[in-house]
Each structure stands twice: as structure tokens, then as C-alpha cells.
Amino acid sequence: MEALRDALNLTRPLVSPLLISDGCFDSLVLDLNVADTLCLKETLSKVAGYGIIVMATVLKLPLILNILKARSVDGLSTTSVYLETSMYVAVLVYHAMLGSPFSTYGEKYVLLAQNMVIVGLIVYYGRKGGAFALASAAGLAVVTVGMLSLPPEMRPLLILYSSGGAVFARSPQIYANFVNGHTGVLALSTLAVSVGGGLVRLLTVIQEVGEPVAILGEISPLFFNSIILAQIIWYRKSTAEHFAKYKRE
């Protein structure tokens, strides 16, 4: 038994503290105490958190591919994309200042990078021009510096901005889908993974961060993403007909 413990202990540097705390490693791995519910919750939350980060690397890839395939950003609300980008920055700044575990917010770095690619495609296919691209980059830089300059006691404003931003970021897209009667280049797989991942992320933030403001910051985008997902499913036939007509033209 002692030899087994020594062998298991060799794996500690590989998983601790990234996926499991030292104390929980002793309890769950060395002592095989599967009845330790606190450590089980903590470890499962960390594993789920990193799973979300990995999943996020391909989250917006279907949307990007749809845009490239259609050579168009038709049906995509540029206002929503820009607001969503600033929301990611707000959440990143908040959690970095708070010192939250990376597993509770790391996917926002990945999503921010993917959104920047989408912004580039909007500029290119929307023929916005170089001046517009520079103005967008400058605006994001100013917003980021402003957020980083906030004193600690004003940190909750970042999440409140993100939560409120979810309303303004998703509402134009929801409205555009309703008015157009189709969902354009929006990808079902992207929204389905967003909703599923958002639900898991909500649970990990509850488990590892626990702050009501941080929890609110996850509920708001989850709610509005669920509405857009429902629209994609509802309008799937009219969306297919729209692009069939678009190709004929």
C-alpha cells in the first residue's frame, strides 16, 4: 500500500495545484477518500473549468467559417460583436484584479481573441475601411485602460457593465433575427456550445468564486444566448432558404 502511495505521489506535480489542491490530492488520490464531497466538488469544478477553456478554442470557429464560406457578414449584428468584445475585457479585468482562479474565467481570453478575428472579418467583408478598423482598435484600447484604472472598490462595476452589456449586446442580434426572419451566418453549434458551456461556467463560478456579482455576470449572457439559440432552431428553415436565394443572386 505504501508503494502505491509513493507511486501516486509522483503524479502530484502534474495535477496539483492546477486541477486539484494539495490537500485534496492527499485526500482523494493518496487516501482514496471518495467520500470527501468538498474535495470532489472542488476538483470537478476545476476540471470542468479547464474543459470549458479547451472547448472555447473552437467555440466561434463555426461562425468564422460560415462568414468565410458566405463571404458575407449578413445577419450578424456588428453592434453585438463590439459590445460582446468589451464585455470580455470587463470580465477579464474583474477576475484578474480579484485574483480568481484561472479555471473560472480563462476562456474569456480565448473568446476575446476569436472576437477580434470576427471584427477583422466585419471590417473586411463589410468594407468598413482602414479608418474604421483603427477607430475600433483605439476604442477598445481606451475602454481597457479605463477599466484597469478603476479602484478596487469599484470592481463590481465591471461585472455590472458586463451583465448590462449582455442585454445591449444580444438585444440587437435578437431583434435583427426577428426582423429578418432568419439568423444569417449565426452557427447552431456555436450557440449550443455557448449555452452548455455557460451553464457549466455558472456552476464553477458558484463553486470557486461565490461572489454574487460574479454569478450575476454569468447568468445574464447565458439567458440571452439561450434566446438566440432558440431563434436559430426556430428560423432554421427560413435561414436555409435565405442563403439559397443569396447564392442564386
Structure confidence by residue, pLDDT tens digits, 122-169: 888 876 656 666 776 777 777 777 777 888 778 788 878 777 777 777
Q: What is the pTM of this model?
A: 0.71
Q: How far apart are CA 18 and CA 217, in angstroms?
A: 24
Q: Three cell numbers at 182? A: 432568419
For the chain, count helices (H), then strands (E).
12, 0
Q: How far apart are CA 216 and CA 53, in angstroms?
A: 20
**Amino acid occupying residue 28:** L
Helix ranges (DSSP H) in 126-187 = 130-148, 156-180
Report which DSSP code applies to 28.
I
Find out whether 205 and 152 touch, Cβ atoms under 8 Å.
no
pLDDT digit string, tens, across residues 23-80: 777 777 777 777 778 888 888 888 888 888 888 888 888 889 888 888 888 777 777 7
- Determine which of 10-24, 94-108, 222-236 has the lowest per-residue pLDDT on average: 10-24
The CA dihedral of 123, 128, 130, 133, to the nearest 10 degrees, is -50
- The residues, any chain, with a CB within 8 Å of residue 120's CB and separated by 6 or more, are 133
Q: How far apart are CA 77 and CA 242, in angstroms?
A: 17
